[in-house]
Amino acid sequence: MSLSLGPNPSLSPNPTNTRSIRIALIAGEASGDRLAADLVRSIQKKTAGLSFFGMGGASMRAAGVRIEQDFAGLSVVGILEALWHYRRLRAVLERMKRMLADERPDLLILVDYAEFNLRLADYAKSIGLKVLFYVSPQLWAWRPSRIHRMVGRIDGMAVLFPFEVPYYQAAGIPVRFIGNPLVDDVRPSGTVEQLRQSFGLGLAKDKPILGLFPGSRESEWRRHMPTLVQLAEQMLAKGVQPVVSIASGLDIDEKEQARRHPGIRWVKGRSVDLMASCDALVVASGTATLEAGLLKIPMVVIYRLSWLSYELLRLFVHVKDIALVNIVAGRRIVQELIQSLFTLQNLSEETQRLLFDEAYRRTMVEALGDVKESLGEGGASDRLADWVLELVLIAPPRGPSE
């Protein structure tokens, strides 16, 4: 089995005028927004003059993408939650279809946000557009039959994990393992001591720091924070310094939270720096668990959905673990407190093990190191940029040895 990590060396230069080439990108949540922005910057470093437009947020806008639709409020988790927002999601989908029909981009790049983007891929192919999907839907976890919807509808699938490649090869879908962009992105801006001072929170050097990461969605904040605040208050009494991460996209003021909950620190944004500053973490399931794994910070993973959404998902999900660090490792290396297991007692017991049981901490850190190694070297965005240029018939720049 061959896992391609670079451009097609047989591709010959093409005289296409790059200033006429337009690329559409669709991202529906914060993580996809960052991935798309990094990709655009990598393309811009290789070839000047391309234009970019689509659906995204602040990161894509800062990278020079013309945002036709902001994704604010579109990120939902759970079947019931998706039904509740169906009318708005449908309206945005129709708007994006009209955008593609009017603009006729040379390439459509769909970034994660699987259910929405698979529908958009259907339409894009029906009007003759090239389609590249970036970040595979979790076929290995649930609804593997979705792969049949992609056959003939996408021109490439860029995957972040090597174990995803065989799914697409078996279906005859062009696929490349490009590596994981988090390997490049998860780089703290200073030493632990420098970072702790940089937040200006008055953190004591001789007391452990517990980072609480409730998630980047409003629904996650509502469902997780009551229990996390209780945990933080309990940990304060044990000499632990709890710090809550507020995702930059949430309309929550850290100063107001500090006033309402004295003793608990609050930080908006700078999530990687905050993670690197902590001795242990409580992290909502999602990309953040992989970020914490790359930093090798001991953690416990949490998640809570509405009761009915959870029961419905149980009918479709076919994996034992949901945390990305556990899935990549192929075994459970961090504890998962999901749904009914997400209680104050369970959380308190596991948090104290993470903070005070040195042997337990050391074992977890070593296992997280193995996860980091399995994700390979950096450069994912650059490799994907080469593929993008191939798809729009521009030869990627060659190095001196090529």
| One domain for residues 201 and 122 | no
pLDDT band at residue 10, thresholds of 50, 70 and 90?
Answer: very low
232 band by pLDDT with thresholds 50, 70 and 90: very high
Q: What are the phi and psi torsion angles at 140 (to 5°)?
A: -70, -15
pLDDT category at 392 given cuts 50, 70, 90 is very high
Q: Is residue 400 a part of any domain in this protein?
A: no
Q: Do 382 and 367 belong to one domain?
A: no
User: What does DSSP assign to residue 387?
Assistant: H
Quick one: 54 and 86 in the same domain? yes
Among the residues of 188-281, which ranges form H helices? 192-198, 218-236, 254-260, 271-277
In a shared domain, residues 172 and 198: no
Task: Report yes or no on 42 lying in a domain.
Answer: yes
What pLDDT was estimated at residue 315? 63
The proportion of the chain whose per-residue pLDDT surpasses 90, expressed as a percent, equals 68
Compare 90 and 360 and report the one with higher pLDDT.
Answer: 360
- Asked if residue 385 is part of any domain, the answer here is yes
For residue 398, the model assigns a pLDDT of 52
The answer to whether residue 12 is domain-embedded is no
- For β-strands 336-338 and 66-70, DSSP reports them as unpaired
Give the gyration radius of the chain's Cα atoms.
Answer: 22
Which of 323, 371, 381 shows the shortest CA–CA distance to 158?
Answer: 381
* Spatial distance between the Cα atoms of 240 and 238, rounded to a whole number of angstroms: 6
What is the pLDDT, as a whole number, of residue 148? 84
Q: Do 67 and 166 have their domain in common?
A: yes
The DSSP string of 255-267 is: HHHHHHSTT-EEE
Range of the domain at 247: 188-374
Residue 9 lies in a domain: no
Phi then psi dihedrals of residue 26, to 5 deg: -125, 115
Residues 6+ apart with CB under 8 A from 47: 18, 389, 394, 397
Query: Tokens at residue 193, please?
Result: 């001591």
197 lies in the same domain as 155: no
Cβ atoms of residues 52 and 23 within 8 Å: yes
Give yes or no: residues 253 and 176 share one domain.
Answer: no
Do 176 and 33 sit in the same domain of this protein?
A: yes
How far from 232 is each of 49, 247, 356, CA to CA, in Å?
A: 50, 18, 16
User: What average pLDDT does the structure give for the chain?
Assistant: 88
Pair (261, 113) in one structural domain: no
Per mean pLDDT, which range of 1-10, 78-87, 229-238, 249-258 is the poorest? 1-10
Is the predicted pLDDT of residue 126 greater than 70, yes or no? yes
Model confidence at 13: pLDDT above 90: no
Please check whether residue 1 lies inside any domain of the structure: no
Which residues, in sequence order, are CB contacts of 216 under 8 Å at separation 6+? 29, 30, 31, 75, 247, 249, 250, 286, 288
**What count of Cα atoms within 13 Å lies in the side-chain half-sphere of residue 163?**
11
Q: Which candidate, 248, 244, 243, places its Cα nearest to that of 269?
A: 248
> Which has the minimum average pLDDT: 142-156, 219-233, 235-249?
142-156
pLDDT: is 15 or 184 the higher one?
A: 184
Over 80: is that where the pLDDT of 378 sits?
A: yes
Residue type present at position 159: V
Which of 336, 337, 333, 322 has the alpha carbon at shortest distance from 365?
A: 333
The domain that holds 202 is classified in CATH as: 3.40.50.2000
Residues 30 and 149: their CA atoms lie apart, in Å, by: 25
Looking at the structure, tell me whether residues 161 and 260 fall in a common domain: no
Does position 395 have pLDDT exceeding 60, yes or no? no
Q: Are 385 and 36 in contact (CB under 8 A)?
A: no
Same domain for 45 and 116?
A: yes
User: Are 70 and 56 spatial neighbours (Cβ–Cβ below 8 Å)?
Assistant: yes
Structural domain contains residue 3: no
Number of domains in the chain: 2
What is the predicted pLDDT for the residue at 310? 72
Report pLDDT for 316. 64
Residues pairing with 107 in the sheet: 23
- Least Cα distance to 388 among 10, 17, 2, 25 occurs for 25
Instruction: Say what the pTM is.
Output: 0.74
> Is 272 in the same domain as 339?
yes
Q: Can you list the positions of beta strands (E) in 234-350?
A: 241-246, 265-268, 280-284, 299-303, 336-338
pLDDT in tens, 275-325: 999 999 999 998 899 999 999 999 999 999 887 777 666 766 666 888 999
* 299-303 sheet: strands from edge to edge: 265-268, 241-246, 209-213, 280-284, 299-303, 336-338
pLDDT of residue 145: 73
